[in-house]
Structure 1
Amino acid sequence: MNWITGTLGSSIGKKLLMAVTGFSFCGFLAAHLAGNLTIYGGEDAFNSYAAHLHALGPLLTVAELVLLTFFIVHVITGLVLFLGNLKARPVRYAVNKSAGGRTFGSATMPYTGAMLLAFIIFHLMNFHFVDKTNTTVFTIVSNAFANTGYVVVYILAMVTAAIHVSHGFWSAFQTVGANHPKYIPLIRMTGLAFAVVVGIGFGFLPIYIFLLA
């Protein structure tokens, strides 16, 4: 037990936690996007998808609790690492160089993460915790995206998610040891492609619904 707490309490251990929980979120994003794409099949197709999902009952509840736990761990661990980095380097460098593979995604990880946290809370309040009595999931989504402001917020959030994922994807692989020079370029490109799919896949949905309204 001591070696577990010692490992997770170290900087490497925290990065491993970030990697594992990050992988789970990438899987969730892929599955969530696949389900949301049923909206292109029309109202019945989307409502049917939502009904099948909720028919899982306890399994869905367990999955949500696991995801929530991973989310809390990811946020807290990320915050601890960010504050630790600030403490180790209280004075910013005079010149911010991009050497060592530093990208816009890596440089903005804490900030895009904070923005996504705010959006997730906003998103849950508008979709998950709304009154679903005498209505359908499609109607709830349609009403939300009939609001131009929400469409803009959602699109900006998806751009933010794409930026966050663009670095987080390959960084997670690197953390777990997949940092061979032969594979890192491929992993980087795969991560970038996944980020683009996430950004465009989710980002175009509100535009599509808005145009239908």
Structure 2
Amino acid sequence: MNWITGTLGSSIGKKLMMAITGFSFCGFLAAHLAGNLTIYGGKDAFNAYAAHLHALGPLITVAELGLLTFALVHVITGVTLFLGNLKARPVRYAVNKSAGGRTLGSATMPYTGGILLAFIVFHLMNFHFVDKTNTTIFAIVSNAFTSPAYVAIYIVAMVAAAIHVSHGFWSAFQTVGANHPKYMPLLKILSIAFAVIVGIGFGFLPVYIFLLA
């Protein structure tokens, strides 16, 4: 037990927890996007998808609790690592170069993460924790995206998600040891491709619904 707590409490252990939880969120994003794409099939297809999820009952509850737990671990660990890095280097370098693999994604991880955290709370309040009596999920979504402000917020959040994932995806592989020079270039390409899919896939949905209104 002491070995486990000591490992998880170390910098390497924290990065490993970030990688594992990050992988889970990438999987969730892929599954969530696949489900959301049913909206292109019309209100009946989207409502049927929502009804199918609701029919899973306890399984959905367990999945939601698991995601909540992973989110808490990811956020708390990420903040801890960020503050630790600030403490180790309280003064920024005079020149901010992109050498050493530094990218927009890696340079903005704490900030895009903060945007996503705020958006998730906003998103849940508007879609999950709402009165669904005498209405449908398609109607709730359609009503929400009649607001240009909400569409703009959603798009900004999806841009932040794409930037966050563009670094987090391949970085997670690196953390778990899949950083062989032969495979890392491919993983970085896959990471960017996944980020683009997430950004465009989620980002165009509110635009599509807004244009239909």
Q: Same fold (TM over 0.5)?
A: yes
Aligned pair 1:178/2:204, yes or no?
no
What is the 5 A alignment of 1:21-170? 21-170=21-170
Indicate the percent of aligned positions where both proteins have the same amino acid. 85
| 1:66-100 deviation digits (Å, cap 9, x = unpaired) | 00000000000000000000000011100011111
Deviation per CA, 1:90-124, whole angstroms, max 9, x where unpaired? 11100011111000100000000001100100000
Q: Give the length in aligned residue pairs.
A: 213
Aligned to 2:212: 212
**Structure 1 spans left out of the alignment, 5+ residues:** none
Query: How far apart, CA to CA, are the structure 1 residues paired with 2:159 and 2:45?
Result: 27
Where does residue 196 of structure 1 map in the other structure? 196
Q: One-letter code of the match for 1:116?
A: L
> Which TM-score applies when normalising by structure 1?
1.00
Amino acid at match of 1:21: T
Q: Distance in 1 between matches of 2:3 and 2:102?
A: 32
Counterparts of 2:34 and 2:83 in 1: how far apart (Å)?
36
CA shift for structure 1 position 139:
0.1
Q: If the length of structure 2 is used for normalisation, what is the TM-score?
A: 1.00
Provide Cα deviations, 1:175-199, integer angstroms capped at 9, x if missing partner. Answer: 0000000000000000000000000
Q: Cα RMSD (Å) of the superposition?
A: 0.3
Structure 1: distance between partners of 2:119 and 2:67: 16
* Structure 2 residue identity aligned to 1:139: A
DSSP 3-state at the match of 1:138: helix
Partner Cα separation in structure 1 for residue 17 and residue 46 of structure 2: 34
Task: Tell me the alpha carbon deviations over residues 150-184 of structure 1, each in whole angstroms, 9 at most, x when there is no partner.
Answer: 00000010000000000000000000000000000
Secondary structure, counterpart of 1:182 in structure 2? coil
Q: CA deviation at 1:149?
A: 0.3
Tell me by how many angstroms 1:144 deviates: 0.2
| SS of residue matched to 2:64 | helix
1-structure distance, mates of 2:208, 2:90: 46
